[in-house]
Amino acid sequence: MEFATFADRAGTIDAEPADLEIVAHVRELLAEAGDEIEIVARFAQGRVFPAWDSTTLDVGPSACYEAIARAAGTNVGAADVEDRLADVGEIGDVAASYEFGGQQGLGAFTGGDGAGDDGGSGDLTVREVADTLAELAAAEGPGSQDRKVDLLFGLFNRCSSEEARYLARIVLSEMRIGVGEGTVRDAIAEAFDVPTDRVERALQVSNDYGRVARIARDEGVAGLDAMDLEVGRPVQAMLAQAGTVTEALEEWETAAVEWKYDGARIQLHHDPRTEGETRVFSRNMEAVTEALPEVVEFAAAQLEVPAILDGEVVAIDEDGSPLPFQEVLKRFRRKHDVAKAREDVSVRPVFFDCLHADGTDLLEAPLTARHDRLRSVLAGSDAGPGDDEDIDGLSLLRRTDDPDEIESIDADALEAGHEGIMLKNPDSAYSPGRRGKHWRKRKPDVETLDCVVTGAEWGEGRRATFLGTFELSVRDGDDSEERRSSGSAVEPQNLETVGKVATGITDEKLAELTALLEPHIAAEEGQDVELEPAVVFEVGYEEIQSSPTYSSGYALRFPRFTGVRSDKDPGDADSLERLERLQQR
Ligand SMILES: Nc1ncnc2c1ncn2[C@@H]1O[C@H](COP(=O)(O)OP(=O)(O)OP(=O)(O)O)[C@@H](O)[C@H]1O
């Protein structure tokens, strides 16, 4: 296909406001693209390379201005192009405002005669543009920037105004003609009469709109269905929504709960049969292999079968405890001095999903089956029976419908220095690129409340000597300035209960809290303990509900202990009024 034809169709699409019409135009464009269908499908989205390929052109705007200026004639400089851009606001319009052609120079193609109707050569093809851009991307080392400008100049020099408009936009990743991924997907389905969901699946496994378009055309549904994941080609990461334990349990009954590791997302591709076949990608499918040698070493040591694993890389200190997220960033995209950076901060991978193992794609398998496969892949052939905790690099996934257990997993995660928990639908498939409802990251507490501890219960068994299940109250009534300024205590009759917090507290912490509260025991009956108001707990919660159970008329849903406010007296605890305000929000 001639690049002029592509530019003409892109112009039509650019001018079209209606989404359905855009799909129809892209459909026609694909139908007439012939041998160049792969390139055309990418160019329409403003892409030069497939989505899985993190190659970049590595040309800055100034190189592009320079190339445009040179092709525009001897009187034009890069600064003029930039000035015009400041006036016009968009590089396509700027490029289209010049007349190109006929400039002689190092990179000028011999093929063009410079005699097109509006300055273009009229014979530039889509393939030539793609090949030249690939050559440009590959240029590296000394002089490569000049080489890139030469190559670009050569292309612009053969462009008509309209071709230049879209060439400039493609080069600077500013295509913006309204052709998104969904548009191309629908256009492929319509153009070649294949079901949209099969196109979608093929796109998910291949991340290559061009190839999917070609296969849909040449091989139909059977060809699309035969497309599989390839070890070495990244898949878009499945993403999470924010959510609560309440929602998760209501929807799924049982939730798969994991720690939300505080690091950076990685996707590991490893094929032990081929040396050097370990690749690591970021959440956005960028290649980060060189920056993370620990992950490559991990793969070499642990993986005996070809696999694609999804996980998180965490920065750790000398004891293996996680360091804050900022530390991972020091390592993540590093290109130089990796060995030195590794001495300062080391990293360790934790995997929570398995997309492919030993020739089998697992995207459609339920989460728990994928996690089982992940366990066996990481455990390797010499693994005996044992706890998941003993398997290096495996996330701990627990299925439960018990909110208390979820709270204690959350508490453990926070205690271990991680971010909290992820709640996942145990039966859900892996949906690449989707921020769906099947993965939920637990919302951080929007607010916390400072509550007076007014009661407790003695524990049982191992915890018989500990106070637990703490009754929480807020202040009501006397809130006068006088009381506050006179420093007089809050009377129990001025406190109203809002709930009990029992879980999420380690034994060590319980011992501490018992020592703190025991001197304030006012009365005991069986296991129940009444406490005089003295100690203030800070608690997080998911929701405040109206409830007849507690004297305040409200109940905290999923309260969790976040700390003792030793800096606060009961008189400084939160009031019923604030609770009401928060509930109304
Ligand atoms: N066990 C886990 N399962 C899934 N994702 C996890 C897990 N532990 C940590 N994560 C991280 O949490 C992220 C899930 O949240 P989300 O999909 O919203 O990504 P995000 O936009 O990068 O958000 P965030 O900034 O919260 O990490 C994942 O991308 C991953 O990096």
Ligand 1, atom 6, residue with closest C-alpha:
260
Tell me if 184 is assigned to some domain. no
CATH number where 509 lies = 2.40.50.140
The confidence score (pLDDT) of residue 11 equals 97
CATH number, domain with residue 350: 3.30.470.30
Asked if this assembly's ipTM is beyond 0.90, the reply is yes
Domain boundary residue, one of 406, 441, 476: 441
Kindly report the pTM of this predicted structure: 0.80
Q: Atom 15, ligand 1: which residue's CA is nearest?
A: 240
Helix/strand/coil for 493: helix
Regarding the beta carbon of 312 and ligand 1, being less than 6 Å apart is answered yes
Reduce the DSSP state of residue 341 to 3 states and report it.
helix
pLDDT at 542: 85
Residue 575 to residue 539: CA distance in whole angstroms: 14
Clarify whether residues 285 and 433 are in a common domain: yes
In a domain, 506, yes or no: yes
Q: Which of 257, 422, 425 to mutate to test the pocket of ligand 1 (most atoms within 8 A of CB)?
A: 422
281 Cα–ligand 1 center, Å: 15
Ligand 1 touching residue 258 (CB < 6 A): yes
Q: Give the torsion through C-alpha atoms of 250, 256, 261, 265, to 10 deg.
A: -100
* pLDDT at site 62: 93
* 330 included as an active-site residue: no
List the residue whose alpha carbon is closest to atom 26 of ligand 1: 441
Q: Is 435 annotated as a binding residue?
A: yes
Q: What is the 312 CA–ligand 1 centroid distance (Å)?
A: 8
- Containing structural domain, residue 402: 239-441
Which H helix or E strand runs over 241?
Answer: strand 239-243
Residue 441 Cβ inside 6 Å of ligand 1? The answer reads yes
How much distance in Å is there from the Cα of 283 to the middle of ligand 1?
Answer: 9
Say whether both 276 and 413 belong to one domain. Answer: yes
**Whether 140 and 118 share a structural domain:** yes
Q: Tens of pLDDT along 130-169?
A: 999 999 999 999 999 999 999 999 999 999 999 999 999 9
Residue 24 beta carbon below 6 angstroms from any ligand 1 atom: no
What is the domain count for the chain? 3
Same domain, 307 and 426: yes
Asked, for residue 547, whether it belongs to a domain, the answer is yes
59 occurs within a structural domain: yes
Judge if 73 and 142 occupy the same domain: yes
Domain termination residue (choose one: 139, 171, 203): 171
What is each CA distance from 250 to 183, 255, 402, 408, in whole angstroms? 35, 10, 12, 19
Q: Render 399-451 in DSSP notation, one character per residue.
A: EE--HHHHHHHHHHHHHTT---EEEE-TTPPP-TT-EEEEEEEEPPPS-EEEE
Letter for the amino acid at 527?
Q
Q: How far is the CA of 101 from the centre of ligand 1 (A)?
A: 51
Tokens 């928990």 correspond to: 421
* 251 and 364 share one domain: yes
352 in a labelled binding site? yes
Q: Which atom of ligand 1 is nearest to the CA of 395?
A: 1
- Domain boundary (407, 441, 475) is at 441
Q: Are residues 486 and 556 in the same domain?
A: yes
443 is in an annotated binding site: no
CB atoms within 10 A of CB 12: 14
57 CA distance to ligand 1 middle (Å) = 29
Residue-level pLDDT at 112: 42
Q: Are residues 339 and 399 in the same domain?
A: yes
**Which two tokens mark 91?**
């590089």
441 annotated among ligand-binding-site residues? yes
Which pLDDT score, from 0 to 100, does residue 443 have?
A: 67
How far away, in angstroms, is 241 Cα from ligand 1 center?
9
Residue of 238, 259, 261, 419 with the most ligand 1 atoms within 8 Å of its CB, for mutation: 261
- Residue 125 falls inside a structural domain: yes
Kindly state the DSSP code that residue 520 receives in the 8-state scheme.
G
pLDDT number for residue 445: 65
Using the atom order of ligand 1, give the atom closest to the CA of residue 260. 8
Atom of ligand 1 nearest to the CA of 259: 1
Confirm or deny that 580 is annotated as ligand binding. Answer: no
| CATH assignment of the domain containing 79 | 1.10.3260.10
Distances (CA, A) of 27 to 5, 367, 373, 500: 15, 36, 40, 61
Query: Which residues of the chain fall below pLDDT 50?
Result: 106-117
230 in any annotated domain: no
Contact between 94 and 164 under an 8 Å Cβ cutoff? The reply is: no
Please report the atom of ligand 1 found closest to the CA of residue 242: 18
Give the number of the atom of ligand 1 that is nearest the alpha carbon of residue 397: 1
DSSP secondary structure letters along 533-583: S--EEEEE-SEEEE-SSSTTSEEEES-EEEEE-TT--GGGSPBHHHHHHHH
557 labelled ligand-binding: no
Best of 241, 312, 329, 430 to mutate for ligand 1, by most ligand atoms within 8 A of CB?
A: 312
Distance between Cα 260 and ligand 1 center (Å): 7
**Residues 424, 370 share a domain:** yes
Is the domain of 364 the same as that of 406?
Answer: yes
The reported pLDDT for the residue numbered 506 is: 78
- Choosing from 258, 260, 348 the residue with most ligand 1 atoms within 8 A of its CB, the one to mutate for a pocket test is 260
Residue 216 CA, ligand 1 centroid: distance in Å: 33
Indicate if 390 and 323 belong to the same structural domain. Answer: yes
Cβ atoms < 10 Å from Cβ of 388: 15
Within this chain, do residues 469 and 385 fall inside the same structural domain, yes or no?
Answer: no
Ligand 1 in contact with 240 (CB < 6 A)? Answer: yes
Note whether residue 567 is domain-resident: yes
Q: Which atom of ligand 1 lies at the shortest distance from residue 435's CA? A: 17
